[in-house]
Amino acid sequence: MGEIIQTGVGRRRSRDSSLADQLSGIFIVFGAIVGGAAVVTAASYAAGWAWFTPAVEHSQRAMQDEESSYSSMLSQENSLRGYLLTHDVRFLEPYTRAASSVARSHKSPSSFVGPVESAELASLMVRARLAEERWHEQWAKAAANTSPGAKAPSVTQGRDLFSAYQTAHAAFAEALAKRRDHLAAREQYIIQGRVFIELVVFMVVFFLAMRQHHTLRSAVVEPVAALLRHIRRIRDGHLQATADPVGPRELAELAEGLNEVVRSLIVARELAASRDRELSDHSLRLHQILDASREFAESLNLRYVVGSVRQSTAMIGGYEHVVVWLMSEQKLLIDSEDGKAATANDSLELHKSLAGRAAKSGRITFEGPAGQVRFSDSSMMPVRAIAIPLVVGARVVGVLEARHSKAQVTTPDAIEVLEMLAMHAATAIESAHLHELIETRSHVDALTRLLNRRRLDEDLETECQRCSRYSRPLAFVMLDVDHFKEFNDTHGHPQADTALQAVADVLAGCVRATDTAYRYGGEEFCIMLRETSAKDAMVFAERVRMRIEQRFISGEILGITASFGVAELSVDAATPRALIEAADAAMYESKHGGRNRVALSVRPPPPVQA
């Protein structure tokens, strides 16, 4: 098969033919070459074996037979000479054996050289045989038959006859050697010719093999190597390049299939990357929800929890404005940020508002671009706001309202995230609200709505430590309603409770934002004045005393007054207990002084030194 040239036509032809066809053509070419070489080699071997090798072997055996005959003749001649000298019949035994050996040599087919083959060689052989025969007939037989004491044949005659034989033998042996050498040279020429032919065949096969190697390299090896490189690039994640569909039909189809796989991988990778991004975003939102839920659960402060809910919702959903509405007596929604009612005391307005409808229905509510409120899925059209009810059990405790500055399409995943956030937020807000309610009830007096004795102990301990550390003034005022036991006995407990509530209202209206009023117990109250000296506390206590007196000048309850005692945090009253005892002592001084007055705690005189 000729070389496949990688031009446009060659590539098209290579692509049209299959790899099996190309390999089959290559095997046919090499089979023909090797078969021809085998035929030529077999013919040369047959010619040598039929013509030259038998002749060389025949000549070689002829020389061996002639040498054996000559050795036997020498043995006969020596045996006869020994017998003639000694007349010992034992010398005749070697003569007899040698004669038999000569006869066998002459009977061997190798001794026949053929008259047609070489007339000169046949003539020399005849001369050697005649000389040998003359020696036997004229001297050897007579010598062998000579009796002891009889006259022996002439030794000189025998030597002359044997010398004539040796001369004829030497000429014949030399002719045989020349003939053998000639035949060996011809055989060598035949071998050299055969080697030359085999070398030429080898060179032709090598040349064709190189051409076919180049053809296969261009048609198969290079496309396969390109495919392997492309597969390695695909393995390493490089999907930009495509394989060139060249080479045999199978490789071209493989390249096209690989390109299809690459395109499918690109689509699958883009789809997987999109899903990974979606999963990453969803995971990030879930992580943010988890973090927000943990932050909700770590605090029982309602304001902090609501602020965290608003901040987390704005961060997770990307909303510009988030409001957490809390239910007030199951009638109104209160903005947890500023404490103002969402609407007036009108149930119709509450029903029409976005948060109100979500709270009333317990369903997620959407507000469209034009302000229309609906309960349908937001994925069909853009929305401007979403309201999700905060449900604990079967009770709506509030509404989470999230707004965009511009209407946007909200996906179901985003709504699901908001629902999860609202679920955790509802639980946290309800827990904080209950905790705040319990905390308030544990620190607020149920009758007067002022802080109780327990809260007084906590606040006073903290303030005393702070003022002592930073050398800040702190005043403490105690007051007791005058003749309250007689008032209670006269008017009864309900009227007495009303009087105590009225006194508490006066105290709550007089204290500053930095001051705190407490119900100490029974008809006793106290006020902690931060950043206030004893002198200013006296002025404050006097103002409160006058307001209590004025409050009960007219009305259903008359004649209620109170006695005040004022103390200041000092070296002599440096602890909460000491401060309370000092104010209490000053209050009893007011009572002993005639009641309805203010007394300042007097420091005790310094101890007398010994």
Q: Which of 541, 451, 443, 557 is nearest to 502 (CA)?
A: 557
Residue 109 has a pLDDT of: 47
* CB 440, CB 454: distance < 8 Å: no
Residue 528 has a pLDDT of: 95
- Of 253, 523, 556, 568, catalytic: 523
pLDDT tens digits along 462-487:
999 999 999 999 999 999 999 999 99
Give me the amino acid identity at 219.
A
Give the DSSP per-residue string, 306-319: HHHHHHHHHHHH--
Average pLDDT, the chain: 79
**How many other β-carbons are positioned within 10 Å of the β-carbon of residue 220?**
19
Structure-block tokens of residue 440: 């308030």
CA distance 390 to 429: 9
The residue to which tokens 């004829």 are assigned: 168
* pLDDT greater at residue 392 or residue 370: 392
The model's confidence at residue 19, banded by pLDDT at 50, 70 and 90, is low
pLDDT tens digits along 418-431:
888 888 888 888 78
* pLDDT greater at residue 331 or residue 364: 364
What's the whole-number mean pLDDT along residues 57-69?
79
Q: Maximum Cα–Cα distance for the chain, whole Å?
A: 209
Residue 325 has a pLDDT of: 82
pLDDT tens digits along 520-536:
989 999 999 999 999 99
* CB 105, CB 130: distance < 8 Å: no
Res. 607: pLDDT tops 70: no
* CB 354, CB 365: distance < 8 Å: yes
Residue 291 has a pLDDT of: 75
The model's confidence at residue 379, banded by pLDDT at 50, 70 and 90, is low
Q: If you ran DSSP here, which 8-state letter would residue 300 be given? A: -
pLDDT tens digits along 310-361:
877 887 777 888 888 887 765 556 666 654 433 434 333 455 677 777 777 7
What's the whole-number mean pLDDT along residues 515-519?
94
* CB 518, CB 448: distance < 8 Å: no
Residues forming beta bridges with residue 530, ordered by sequence position: 474
Q: If you ran DSSP here, which 8-state letter would residue 234 be given? A: H
Q: Give the 3-state secondary structure of residue 529.
A: strand
The model's confidence at residue 5, banded by pLDDT at 50, 70 and 90, is very low
Residue 22 has a pLDDT of: 66
Residue 331 has a pLDDT of: 56
**How many other β-carbons are positioned within 10 Å of the β-carbon of residue 449?**
13
Residue 246 has a pLDDT of: 67
Angle at alpha carbon of residue 198, lines to 193 and 204, rounded to 5°: 125
CA distance 285 to 266: 28
Lowest mean pLDDT among 42-51, 205-214, 221-230: 42-51
Residue 329 has a pLDDT of: 62
Active site includes 187?
no
325 φ, ψ to 5°?
-95, 135
What's the whole-number mean pLDDT along residues 46-71?
75
Residue 487 has a pLDDT of: 92
Give me the amino acid identity at 515.
D
* pLDDT greater at residue 101 or residue 594: 594
For β-strands 562-568 and 598-600, DSSP reports them as parallel
